Amino acid sequence: MSRAERVPEEVNSREYLRKIIHLNAIKLDRLWLYCGQEDTTNADWKTINTVTLNDLNGQSYPWSGKGWFKKSFIVPVALRNQPLYFQMVHWGASEIFLDGVKLASYGKIGNSRSTEHTFLPDECISFLPDNRLVHHLEVHYSNHHINLPGAPSIFHGFKLSVSEQPILYREKIIDYSLGAMSISFCLGFSLFFFFVFWFYPQRLASLMAAIWLLHFSFIFIPLYLIGLNTDGEFSRFCILTWQIAVGTINSSVILFYYALYYDKLPRRSWFVVGISALIVLAICIFPQVGKYVLLISLLLLFEVFRMLILGYQKDRNKFWILAIGQPLSLFLFLLAIVNIFGIFPEENITTGRFISIALSDLCVPIMLALQLAWEFGYANRVLQKQVVQVKELLEENIIKEHEKQELLAAQNETLELQVTERTTELNQSLETLKATQAQLIQSEKLASLGELTAGIAHEIQNPLNFVNNFAEISEELLDEMEAELDKGETAEAKAIATDIKQNLQKINHHGKRASSIVKGMLDHSRTSSGKKEPTDINALADEYLRLAYHGFRAKDSNFNVTLETNFDPKLPKIVVISQDIGRVVLNLINNAFYAVGQKIKNRPATNDDGTYVPTVEVSTRGTAAGIEIKVADNGSGIPEALINKVFQPFFTTKPTGEGTGLGLSLSRDIIVNGHGGTLSITSTTEGKETGTTFTIFLPIINPST
Amino acid sequence: MKILVVDDEMDVRSLFEQKFRKEIRDKVFTFNFAHSGEEAMKYLSEEGGTNLLILSDINMPGMSGLELLGKVRHIYPQAPPKVIMITAYGDSNNRQQSEVLGADDFLNKPIDFGNLKERLSLELG
């Protein structure tokens, strides 16, 4: 081993002095001589400008492996004869010789990573310089971590400095404090966001922010730990952790944006997580390719920026904070790493770098906190506004409700009044209706009476004629008898007397006949007495058949019909309101006559082959349950469509003015409601059986009931 | 002279028999009675229409007086037999129809037997 004797010229220059005397320290970071061989005798020493990457400025890095470095330096007069302190910073192993004396040894120098005991020095070595102007420094150094991708550049070489006091720790302290601050900042905010999420889980972005910040802090925690310990292997582990954290940080950022803009994580989140998992795997399995893997993670940056742009389109309020914070953080970080623009004074380069890293670190939590604060503030303002609006609406509603109730009460009152009025009106209408109904029933009676009148007139006229004629003749006969008696013809007088007697009987008979007809007519028109009495239905049916027949004949002498009666001689007397039943029978017979009459009228003359014999049959039949009265005609029949309507009030097929349409309706009422019987109809409109049959069934009711 | 009285009322017979007691006894008139158009036609077919006068009511069950008139005039387009219709008072409709169908005269109901006697003696000439 030989020591370098030559002192570089520039060492004495004022420039050099200004450079090296900085804060009472001599920075030994420039103008070293380097020899890559173990044996330096006759070796070729190469001048290099720096031993740290910071100042590499494009020079290739020479210290992979093991080698000797030497440098001469001057201790200024002011610092002579007092203890000075060396500080070594490196990630490797070294032996330091000052003026040929071994001053310190860090770790164990080796030929490979396995034989080298890597060490991260963290202490100062004191020495007392003698009066020599120039001191010679030799460093035996090995470093096998150069290829570790992503390792901080500071560890690629060593950094040696001499100071009046052991204040060279200052950098470390700044580093530690800034690192600790960033980490606690990130962890604190992460916890804060986690709590926000805990109490308001609807905002998933809070959880994602917490994860982002936790993730973010894992970028700094390994670096911080490296600074705290001296063991190279642990530092290596920390570096791996750091790489993973850096490589995947963008996934957390993306997931945060997803949560922020979509409220729910979209499916492609799995893709993002998948990429991150691949990055982690790649770093763990192939540490050598780690730095290229980190490039892949840059791809995720595109998604980050895409989300920023999407944020601009989606919600500009949310966008601005992130749009400024995110690139600013990135910018500061890059600035710290590369110092692209050289904006920090060279002396303060480390400090400036640390500050910018710290600022970059703080950017994210601050940005997220600002984002959250803004969001909460905004939400609160909106909520407050809404609360006010809700309050106003509520008050309005209460007022409206009140008004509504008042209105409702008023309306209720009006309604009640109206109901009362309407009820009164309805009752009046009902009374009117009842009266009208009674009138209608009466007019129906009168209508059928009208139909009867002609028949009745004929029926009455005949007996009256007989009464008159027989009375007249009897008077004449009395004259004759007197004359015969005067003549003494007693036998003749007696014969005349017999005639007179017979005539008187006839007069009596016809008188009674007339009065019975009148009685029947009165019975018919009189309001029903409602008195049920045993009635001979055969007699009743016969009587009304005759009346109806004469009525029709009187109206239309051309009218002719074959009347068939088929009365059950054993028919018992039945307890009914006879006027009512008579009215029904009359109504049915009238209808039957009308039906056959219409058929004759409507028959085309050409079709009249003379075979049609209009026939109306009235028959009675007794059964165990009651009696049956049938009125059948061989008219045209009733079409099926109309058959259900015939019992409806005011339904009539007769021309206007000829029928009230109440006949069958009232008949049914009388039979069904008045006597508990049935009134049914069968009708055929085609074939031999064409015609209509009405059947009255009256149950036998005990007179006592 | 034969007179056929067509009326559904049975008592018409005794009325006529009493009213024309003398005429029947003196055989001036011979009265026959039919209670329906059908019976009248039967009489006509059996006895013929010569020297006959038909007195017919109009409203009768079955064949009406007008139908009977129609049928009589169908067989005997002209009198004899003479047909005198008995119509209700003011029944101009039936009266008109009777005239159209070929009735020779009309009598109002109720029958005034005085008038009838005069009318019948006219027939005797």
A677 and A626 in contact (C-beta within 8 Å)? Answer: yes
pLDDT of amino acid B5: 92
- CA–CA distance, A66 with A358 (Å, rounded to integer): 34
The rounded distance, in Å, linking the Cα atoms of B84 and B103 is 6
Please list the ranges in chain A whose pLDDT falls under 50. Answer: 1-24, 53-62, 147, 149-154, 167-170, 340-341, 347-348, 606, 703-705
How many angstroms away from the CA of A562 is the closest CA of chain B? 7
Extended beta strands in B42-93, E state: 52-57, 82-88
Confidence (pLDDT) at A631: 93
Q: Taking CB atoms and an 8 Å cutoff, what residues of chain B touch A563?
A: 61
> Could B66 and A477 be called an inter-chain contact, meaning their C-beta atoms sit closer than 8 Å?
no
Q: Distance between CA atoms of A156 and A92, rounded to whole angstroms? A: 9
Digit-coded pLDDT (tens) for A17-54:
444 444 345 667 677 788 877 777 777 887 776 555 44
Q: From A42, A41, A34, select the one nearest A61 (Cα to Cα).
A: A34
What's the rounded Cα separation, in Å, for the pair A510 and A519? 14
Residues of A in contact with B61 (CB under 8 A): 549, 563
**Chain B residues bordering chain A (beta-carbon distance below 8 Å):** 9, 11, 14-15, 18-19, 58-59, 61-64, 66-67, 88, 93-94, 97, 109-111, 113
Distance CA A107, CA A105 (A): 7
CB contact under 8 A, A469 and B67: no
Enter the tokens of residue A163.
């100071």
Confidence of residue B102 (pLDDT cuts 50, 70, 90): confident
Calculate how close chain B gets to A473, using CA atoms only, in Å. Answer: 7
**DSSP secondary structure string for all residues of A626-661:** EEEEEEEE-SS---HHHHTTTTSTT---SPTTT--S
The token pair that represents A682 in the structure block: 């069968």
Alpha helices in A315-348 (DSSP H): 316-338
For residue range B25-51, list pLDDT tens digits in order: 888 888 999 988 888 889 888 888 788
Alpha carbon of A80 to those of A101, A219, A368: distances in Å?
18, 43, 54
Residue pair A419/A495 in contact (Cβ under 8 Å)? The answer is no
Q: Buried (b) or exposed (e) across A478-500, using 16+ Cβ within 10 A?
A: eebbeebeeeeeeeebeebbebb
Distance in Å, alpha carbon of B9 to nearest chain A alpha carbon: 8
**Chain A hits for B98, Cβ within 8 Å:** none
Cα–Cα dist A201/A566, whole Å: 99
CB contact under 8 A, B64 and A557: yes
Distance from CA of A443 to the nearest CA of B (A): 27
Question: A557 and B18 in contact by Cβ < 8 A?
Answer: no
Could you tell me the two tokens for B82?
Answer: 């003479």
State the ipTM, two decimals.
Answer: 0.84
Q: In A, which residues are within 8 Å of B66 by CB distance?
A: 557-558
What is the rounded distance in angstroms from the CA atom of residue A444 to the CA atom of residue A661?
Answer: 9
CA B119/CA B55 separation, integer angstroms? 12
A545 touches chain B (CB under 8 A): no
Kindly determine whether residue A465 and residue B61, on different chains, have CB atoms separated by under 8 Å. no
pLDDT, residue A336, reads 60
Q: How many residues does chain A have?
A: 705
Which residue in chain B is spatially nearest to A559 when comparing CA positions? B64
Tokens representing A192 are: 């804060």
Given a contact cutoff of 8 angstroms between Cβ atoms, the answer to whether A652 and A661 are in contact is yes
Asked if A557's CB is within 8 angstroms of B19's CB, the reply is no
Pairing of strands A134-143, A65-74: antiparallel
Which of B36-39's residues contact partners 24+ apart within 8 Å by CB, and which partners? B36/B6, B36/B8, B36/B60, B36/B61, B36/B62, B36/B63, B37/B6, B37/B62, B37/B63, B37/B64, B37/B65, B37/B67, B37/B68, B37/B71, B38/B62, B38/B63, B39/B6
B30-34 and B2-6 beta bridge pairing: parallel
Tell me phi and psi for residue A262, to 5 degrees. -110, -5
Cα–Cα distance, B104 to A676 (Å, whole number): 57
**Looking up tokens 């005269």, which residue turns up?**
B105
Residue with tokens 């966008």: A319
**Is residue A358 packed enough to be buried (19+ CB in 10 Å), middle (13-18) or exposed (0-12)?**
buried
DSSP helix/strand/coil, A267: coil
Task: Name the residue among A669, A678, A673 with its Cα closest to residue A696.
Answer: A678
CB atoms A560 and B59 under 8 Å: no
Q: Is A353 an 8 Å CB contact of chain B?
A: no
- Choose the closest CB to B15 out of A469, A553, A562: A469
pLDDT at position A2? 37
Provide the 10 A C-beta neighbour count for residue A172: 15
Contacts of residue A405, defined as CB under 8 A and 6 or more positions apart, other chains included, come to none
The number of residues making up chain B comes to 125
Q: How far is CA A569 from CA A73, A197, A538, A572, A621, in A?
A: 164, 106, 8, 9, 9
Nearest 5°: the CA angle A613, A618, A624 is 145
Question: Is A465 within 8 Å of B109 when comparing Cβ atoms?
Answer: yes
Per-residue pLDDT, A12: 43
Determine the 3-state secondary structure of A507 from DSSP.
Answer: helix
Q: What is the dihedral of CA A659, A662, A667, A673, to 10 degrees?
A: 180
- Whether residue A552 lies within 8 A of chain B, CB to CB, comes out as no
- Least Cα separation, residue A544 to chain B (angstroms): 15
- In a mutational test of the B interface, the residue from A557, A559, A560, A564 whose CB has the highest number of chain B CBs within 10 Å is A557
What pTM value is reported for the model?
Answer: 0.41
Q: Which residue of B has its CA nearest to A461?
A: B110
Would you call B18 and A473 a contact, using CB atoms and an 8 Å cutoff? yes
pLDDT digits (tens, 9 = 90+) for B70-95: 888 888 888 788 899 887 766 677 78
Q: Contacts of residue B111 in chain A, CB cutoff 8 Å?
A: 465, 469
CB contact under 8 A, B93 and A557: yes
Pairing of strands B105-109, A21-22: unpaired
CB of A165 within 8 A of CB of A85? Answer: yes
Q: Is the minimum CB–CB distance between A461 and chain B shorter than 8 Å?
A: yes
Task: Select from B62, B67, B110 the Cβ nearest to the Cβ of A469.
Answer: B110
**How close is the nearest chain A Cα to the Cα of B1, in Å?**
23
Residue-level pLDDT at A151: 47
Beta-carbon separation of B15 and A473 below 8 A: yes
